[in-house]
Amino acid sequence: MRYSWRLLRLRSHLRSQLRISSNSSHFQVLSDPNLQSLRSLSSLLHSNPAHGSVSPPISDSHFTNFVKPGYGLARTFSSEPAIEQKESDHAVVSDIFSKSRDADEIRKDLESSSIVVSHDLVLEVLGKLESNPDVAVRFFDWVSGNYGEKLSSKSYNLMLGMLGVNGFVKEFWDLNCDMKKKGYGISKGVRDKVLEKFEEDGFGSEAEKLRDVFASGSIDKSPEKIGSIVCKLIRNKVWGDDVEQQLRDMSVPFSGDMVKMILENLCTEPAKAFIFFCWIGESGMFKHDEQTYNAMARVLGREDSIDRFWKVVDEMRSHGYEMEVETFAKVLGRFCKRRMIEEAVNLYEFAMAGSNKPSVDCLTFLLKKIAVSKHLDLSLFSRTLKVFTEAGNAVTDPMVFAVLKSLSTVGRIGEYNQVLNAMKEYGYVFSDGLKTKVAYQLSSNGKSDEANDFMDNIEASGCDPDNKTWVSMVEGHCVAGDLGKASDCIHKMVEKEGVSSAGYALDLIVNAYSQKKRETDASRLLCDLVDGKQLKPWHSTYKSLINKLLVRGAFKEALKMLESMRNHEFPPFIDPFIAYVSKSGTIDDTIGFLKAMTSKRFPSTSVYLHLFEAFFQAGRHADAQDFLSKCPSYIRNHADVLNLFYSMVKPVEAAAPPNLAS
């Protein structure tokens, strides 16, 4: 069927403007200042119904290299890693054909959206376009010209119903003629719906014609009806000479569509479907084509028919036919769902040897399934990678991350290295992002040996771990609570990378020790790295550790941190020390603090004043006096110090009770 799309669109526009108000819910009168001119144009169009040409068909090859996520594959990842289904392909197609564009634009848009034309997709799109017949006709005609085998009696009836209820009478009968040539008839539902419309619009002759056509019994001659009869015969009887004779006596004009439909309807009885497939091919009544071979393959792609499946697909290829992407995706999903992993790999190798090569998404899906199978079979994993890379493809980060995520989901992080080594063998080069993530995952999950092996593998591959990778590993050990491993790791990091970028890793470890109330261990690690490796901790690391050491009462260790901090020329951090010694420290502690905070002989006068004030605020007046006696003479005689002591002593004397003896 071919229509002049420009004419059809104009007619649709006219009908939307010239709806007749009659008691019908379908039409209404719309006021329009140009109504008369539209009527004139309508008359002109009806008087010149010549059909125009259509755009040349788009080649099948534009679509064969796409396997969409979701075709017959498992739906979830947590328990069954799967290719997730793309959202609303029919909506994308409807939108593409709703826009005015040429064949090349349509082809590019469909390719960019990875759309695979299938029978189900055609039905979905037509259903969505029920209220937009001009776009529906454009889509239907395009499918008819490029993928005619995807159109069934149901597809034709959907389109026929749309034309009838929207007033496209001529186009309705044109399409009906095309249906008759294919052996399709009008369904009862379409007949009833269109009859109602014809009668409402006053098309009595058309309604009578439709009744006659339907009454002629054309529906009984449709491939669906004939196929249903054939299926019923095959199901209900044991195959034998009598069944074969009955099939011959029916004189069925077997077509590719009909044989495909019969095979699909016998999918629950694959043995009988296979017998019928073989018999009809050998009987001379029908010669199998790519469509019927693929239909048979989809039926047989299961564990109880695996030998017959391979017989059919091998024979199909020997005859020059290819496995359709829909067949591959459906059977692959079934194999994986039923844990037939080796057969899934065999199928992938078979498909990669043909012209309809599976997409990268299919490879990722299969690798994930292999990774989470009961036992990780590296030979199957390698076979899959081999056939993929030999076709000129490269292993990428998203593929690797997806496989590792699947391993994590089933609690098999310890097998990361095996998978990564296999991928490395087929050309994968560890990226910086992968190195940091894997190092963290392994170490944070307590896989310290595997983490070390991973770092060794990185070095062996010629791309040494960088600073971020080492930090990730240190952080992972801290999260896992293995602070000994974290300390060993930072020492290795300093040896490999130097001290310039180790400050963050040290800060992580110090905080991890502190959370476990092991501040003294943190101070020993810090001193070891500072004294032995000349590492310079962050200023914030010093301050945090000093505060926590003093809270724990580890005054001597805190003084060591203060001295180290001074040696690194950080500003002196004295407030927590003043608070500590004034409340609970001895005079010797106070003097030790003053010596540690400065490299000079004595600190500034302001420090002494802060200390005296703190002693007084803590109510330790006698200790303040004792401390003053041990201060240098220039402090004892300093005017500000004397004034402070005078101001503190005078209120005490005023508050003392009077001497009654005098």
For residue 650, pLDDT over 80 is answered with no
H/E stretch holding 298 reads helix 290-300
What is the pLDDT at residue 499? 87
- The number of helix segments (H) and strand segments (E) in the chain equals 36, 0
Burial class (CB in 10 A: 0-12, 13-18, 19+), 25: exposed
Give CA–CA dist 202/172, Å, rounded.
Answer: 16
Burial class (CB in 10 A: 0-12, 13-18, 19+), 61: exposed
Give CA–CA dist 54/141, Å, rounded.
Answer: 9
What is the pLDDT at residue 626? 92
What is the pLDDT at residue 154? 86
Give CA–CA dist 505/473, Å, rounded.
Answer: 9
Single-letter code of the amino acid located at 360: V
For residue 125, pLDDT over 90 is answered with no
Token pair recorded at residue 554 = 């580890």
Percent of the chain predicted with pLDDT > 90: 49
For residue 403, pLDDT over 90 is answered with yes
What is the pLDDT at residue 486? 94
Give CA–CA dist 328/351, Å, rounded.
Answer: 7
For residue 385, pLDDT over 80 is answered with yes
Residues 159-196: pLDDT tens digits?
A: 988 888 888 888 888 888 887 766 677 888 888 888 88
Single-letter code of the amino acid located at 34: N
Q: How confident is the model at residue 473 (pLDDT cuts 50, 70, 90)?
A: very high
- The mean pLDDT value for 445-454 works out to 92
Question: Integer distance in angstroms from the first to the last C-alpha of the chain?
Answer: 133
Least trusted range by pLDDT, from 91-100, 454-463, 627-636: 91-100
For residue 17, pLDDT over 80 is answered with no
Q: DSSP character for 24? A: -
What is the pLDDT at residue 651? 58
What is the pLDDT at residue 646? 87
Q: How confident is the model at residue 100 (pLDDT cuts 50, 70, 90)?
A: low
Give CA–CA dist 647/104, Å, rounded.
Answer: 95
Percent of the chain predicted with pLDDT > 70: 83
What is the pLDDT at residue 63? 31
What is the pLDDT at residue 2? 40
Q: DSSP character for 572? A: P
Residues 316-346: pLDDT tens digits?
A: 999 999 999 999 999 999 999 999 999 999 9
- The mean pLDDT value for 48-52 works out to 36
In contact, 367 and 345? CB cutoff 8 Å:
no
Q: How confident is the model at residue 91 (pLDDT cuts 50, 70, 90)?
A: confident
State pTM to two decimals: 0.61
Least trusted range by pLDDT, from 74-78, 394-398, 460-464, 610-614: 74-78
Mean pLDDT of the chain: 81
- Between the CA of residue 283 and those of 218, 224, 296, 424, what are the distances in Å? 27, 22, 17, 53
Single-letter code of the amino acid located at 239: W
What is the pLDDT at residue 406? 93
| Residue 339, phi-psi category: left (phi > 0), alpha (psi -120 to 50), beta (remainder) | left
Q: How confident is the model at residue 197 (pLDDT cuts 50, 70, 90)?
A: confident
For residue 84, pLDDT over 80 is answered with no
Q: Among 164, 155, 156, which residue's Cα sits nearest to residue 207?
A: 164
Range ranked top by mean pLDDT from 51-60, 107-116, 302-311: 302-311
Token pair recorded at residue 177 = 């003629």
In contact, 422 and 378? CB cutoff 8 Å:
yes
What is the pLDDT at residue 101? 67
Which of the pair, 48 or 429, is modelled with greater confidence?
Answer: 429
Rounded to the nearest 10°, the torsion over CA 396, 400, 403, 405 is -120
Q: How confident is the model at residue 557 (pLDDT cuts 50, 70, 90)?
A: very high
- The mean pLDDT value for 363-375 works out to 93
Provide the b/e sequence for 472-483 (b: ≥16 CB within 10 Å).
bbbbbbbbbebb
Residues 302-313: pLDDT tens digits?
A: 999 999 999 999
Q: Among 359, 306, 308, 315, which residue's Cα sits nearest to residue 334?
A: 306
- The mean pLDDT value for 344-369 works out to 94
Q: How confident is the model at residue 481 (pLDDT cuts 50, 70, 90)?
A: very high
Q: Which residue has the tokens 């690194």?
A: 568
Q: How confident is the model at residue 602 (pLDDT cuts 50, 70, 90)?
A: confident
Which of the pair, 602 or 640, is modelled with greater confidence?
Answer: 640
Single-letter code of the amino acid located at 447: K
Q: How confident is the model at residue 224 (pLDDT cuts 50, 70, 90)?
A: confident
Q: Which residue has the tokens 């106070």?
A: 590
What is the pLDDT at residue 653? 52
Which of the pair, 211 or 264, is modelled with greater confidence?
Answer: 264
Q: How far is CA 309 from the centre of its chain?
A: 32
Q: Where are the domains of the chain?
A: 90-216, 454-570, 572-648
Give CA–CA dist 419/376, Å, rounded.
Answer: 9
DSSP-based three-state secondary structure for 599: coil
Q: What is Dmax (Cα atoms) for the chain?
A: 146
For residue 661, pLDDT over 80 is answered with no
For residue 14, pLDDT over 60 is answered with no
What is the pLDDT at residue 76? 32
Instruction: Note the CATH number of domain 454-570.
Output: 1.25.40.10
In contact, 537 and 503? CB cutoff 8 Å:
yes
In contact, 555 and 588? CB cutoff 8 Å:
no
- The mean pLDDT value for 625-640 works out to 91
- The mean pLDDT value for 131-146 works out to 84
Least trusted range by pLDDT, from 29-43, 220-234, 490-504, 510-524: 29-43
Give CA–CA dist 520/233, Å, rounded.
Answer: 87
Least trusted range by pLDDT, from 372-381, 499-508, 642-651: 642-651
Q: How confident is the model at residue 284 (pLDDT cuts 50, 70, 90)?
A: confident
Q: DSSP character for 415? A: G
Rounded to the nearest 10°, the torsion over CA 574, 576, 579, 584 is -110
What is the pLDDT at residue 320? 94
Q: How confident is the model at residue 465 (pLDDT cuts 50, 70, 90)?
A: confident
In contact, 12 and 133? CB cutoff 8 Å:
yes
What is the pLDDT at residue 183? 64
Least trusted range by pLDDT, from 26-40, 192-206, 234-248: 26-40
Give CA–CA dist 420/400, Å, rounded.
Answer: 8
Q: How far is CA 650 from the centre of its chain?
A: 78
Residues 409-442: pLDDT tens digits?
A: 999 999 999 999 999 999 898 888 999 999 999 9
What is the pLDDT at residue 382? 95
In contact, 323 and 354? CB cutoff 8 Å:
yes
For residue 158, pLDDT over 50 is answered with yes
Provide the b/e sequence for 231-263 (b: ≥16 CB within 10 Å).
beebeeeeeeeebeeebeeeebebbbbbbbbbb
What is the pLDDT at residue 184? 74
Sequence-separated contacts (24+) of 351-357 with Cβ below 8 Å: 351/323, 352/387, 352/388, 352/391, 353/387, 354/317, 354/322, 354/323, 355/64, 355/322, 356/64, 356/65, 356/322, 356/323, 356/324, 356/325, 356/328, 357/65, 357/391
Q: How far is CA 354 from the centre of its chain?
A: 28
In contact, 465 and 493? CB cutoff 8 Å:
no
Q: How confident is the model at residue 105 (pLDDT cuts 50, 70, 90)?
A: confident
